[in-house]
Amino acid sequence: MTQEIKNLIEVSRFYGQDKEYVIAGGGNTSYKDDKNLYIKASGISLASIDENGFCVLDREKLNNISKLHFSSDPVKREDEVKNALLNARTDPASELRPSVETSLHNLFSYRYVVHTHSTLVNGLMCSNQAARRSLSLFGDEALFVPYSDPGYILFTLIAGEVRKYNEKFNRDPQIVLIQNHGVFIAADTTNEIHAIYEKIIKRIKDTFDVFPEEKEIPVSKKMSEILPAVRMLLSDNKVKTATAFNSSSIAEIISDSKSFFRSIPGPFNPDQIVYCLSEYLYVENKGTSDEIISGISDKIEDFRKRKGITPKVIFVQEEGAVVVEDSAVSTGYLKDIVIDFCRISRLSENFGGPHSLEPSQVQFIENWEVENYRKKVSLGAKSGGRLENRTVIVTGAAQGFGAGIAEMLFGEGANIVVADLNEEKGEEFALQLNEKPSKNRAFFVKVNVAESASVESMVRQTVIRFGGLDVLISNAGILHAGSLDEMDQSTFELMTKVNYTGYFLCAKYAQEIMKIQHRFKPDYYMDIIQINSKSGLKGSNKNFAYAGGKFGGIGLTQSFALELMPYNIKVNSVCPGNFFDGPLWSDPERGLFVQYLNAGKVPGAKTIADVKTFYESQVPARRGCKPEDVVKAVLYIIDQEYETGQAVPVTGGQNMLK
């Protein structure tokens, strides 16, 4: 790899990882030498791009594109241009697709070009005074270009303006500001690119008497009651993901409908249309959650009748915004874009107010294959799997059995809430899951399942993040072995609180959300699953505190099942055998092998190995239980729609039901 390409990767990641400049896979970067142009391929993320993410094109072939004659029909023309760009690749077999802006990058004589959709720059570019204020701020340093449909038309427009600029100043412009679009910066070094960006940002910021900093505002409890209903109202054959959020820029424009429609009269730039559609719902806050949901339902139905599709963005008066999409990655992009266009609206007030795209311009973007391709690629491969887009809480998921269950369910496409007391391990594990190339997501929530407020908060955070709850797996538990002589009351009560009361609390708060979902999608099935134990099926010598809690758990399962099945909420327990390889058993200081050895639970055992051999010999399958054994049972429970109230043994034959 040459130093020039290393510099290109560095500058790409620098701006790509900063949401002030790039969101939702937008923006573009390039480097050119005398023969070739290296440009970020369509749909590739700048934030993580490496040398394999750049499409390499022959500059001579690129130059010839401007000499070709294309159809006057916009759809045919853009398809012809797309094919011309593909034919300019140095490697025709490459699967990388050149960015639609490739010809623009080739236009500049400078080596490096960095194009971003900077929020601050677009506060100016998407304003009513964009042209006049650009001239007063930058004079001849910058070239301002009025909005044009992106693609070949924009290229020919900018090419003509650059030619005029060059004739006047004997050099190409280094700053090109495009109305309702963004900014191109060109230079021969990446250091100069950085310097120019810093100058632009400072100059625009200095126009504000008080710069409006963006602050996150926590959403209210009311939104967590509204969100599961909205998610189901917008889920057709496949359940979707939703999220709710609020911020200072959003709060400023949702106080009433007049303020909202003045601030956001329509989309400001192509990204908003491609990801969020061209129209966003505004719903008045009439008081109760049910009244707001009713208002949302009416507006969704009207939207569907008018447009033949479902909306993706809903603003609720004085509460915040809701976005709904086909995956957690998509909703993350939508959230970023919604905050971005609310900020753009807020910033534009400093330059005469917001200037949205014209209806014909919106229509062009809606029908443009190139932008829809970019969106499709940027969102990555489908998650797939049996639990695609389901939201699953796994308590006690930071390590051991819980982590194994969570990881495999994540592999089946579920959005996973890693719920645990261990913050360090939980955050680390969620990060590991999110590094996988998939469209689902995981996040960590610190929870003490023995405390009501903590469990309620866990469920609420889940709803706000993913829109609802489909599966609750109550896995968190503790075990302290001991005889009647050894066990004290405080230890007994602690174990009961975690293993028994914790399951009750998880079921209590999970079912509240699931009932809301059932109201708005009555044919949808949900699950509460307790990871119980073989000790819930048969008494356990000198382990009565644990066994008693697990016996009680099966009683809860059967009782919950009777109560909740009318809402299509299935409640079952999985009763695993011993997970010998996990920390519960194998921890050298506090594991059960050590505890049982010290308690003399295994007659004649002198070492930990003796204890392990003893317990393995009790299993017909001659081994301990593994997470994959449990997950097979969990997936069966979720897949089927007929059984509830069951305790499913996964014990290698050690426990057999009568």
User: What does the pLDDT look like over 520-575, one tens digit per residue?
Assistant: 999 999 999 999 887 777 888 777 888 888 888 899 999 999 999 999 999 999 99
* Ranges of the chain with pLDDT below 50: 369-371, 373-375, 377
Bridge partner list, 445: 419
Q: What is the pLDDT of residue 372?
A: 52
CATH of the domain at 349: 3.40.225.10
The answer to the question of residue 216 being in a domain is no
Is 364 in the same domain as 461?
A: no
Is 643 in the same domain as 591?
A: no
Is 28 in the same domain as 167?
A: yes
User: Is the Cα torsion angle 320, 323, 328, 334 positive or negative in sign?
Assistant: negative
Is 353 in the same domain as 408?
A: no
Is 508 in the same domain as 400?
A: yes
Is 550 in the same domain as 600?
A: no
Estimate to the nearest angstrom the gap between the alpha carbon of 559 and the chain centroid. Answer: 36
Per DSSP bridges, beta strands 54-58 and 112-116 are: unpaired
How many CB atoms sit inside 10 A of residue 655's CB?
Answer: 18
**The Cα angle at residue 74 between residues 73 and 76, in degrees rounded to 5:** 65
The answer to the question of residue 385 being in a domain is no
Is 609 in the same domain as 630?
A: no
Domain end among 155, 181, 205: 205
Is 416 in the same domain as 490?
A: yes
Domain end among 176, 205, 234: 205
Is 195 in the same domain as 258?
A: no
The answer to the question of residue 210 being in a domain is no
Is 584 in the same domain as 573?
A: no
The answer to the question of residue 384 being in a domain is no
Is 523 in contact with 567 (CB distance < 8 Å)? no
The answer to the question of residue 285 being in a domain is yes
Is 175 in the same domain as 283?
A: no
The answer to the question of residue 386 being in a domain is no
Q: Which domain holds residue 612?
A: 580-618
Q: What is the pLDDT of residue 148?
A: 87
Q: Which residues are catalytic?
A: 546
Is 98 in contact with 89 (CB distance < 8 Å)? yes
What does pTM read for this prediction? 0.88
Is 551 in contact with 503 (CB distance < 8 Å)? no
Q: What is the pLDDT of residue 216?
A: 95
Domain end among 378, 411, 446: 378
User: What does the pLDDT look like over 6-17, one tens digit per residue?
Assistant: 999 999 999 999
Half-sphere exposure of 416 (CA within 13 A, CB side): 33
Is 60 in the same domain as 138?
A: yes
The answer to the question of residue 570 being in a domain is yes
CATH of the domain at 631: 3.40.50.720
Domain count, the chain: 4
**DSSP string for 377-415:** HHT-S---STTTT-EEEEET-SSHHHHHHHHHHHHTT-E
Per DSSP bridges, beta strands 36-40 and 28-32 are: antiparallel
The answer to the question of residue 140 being in a domain is yes
The beta strand positions in 448-562, using DSSP E, are: 471-474, 526-531
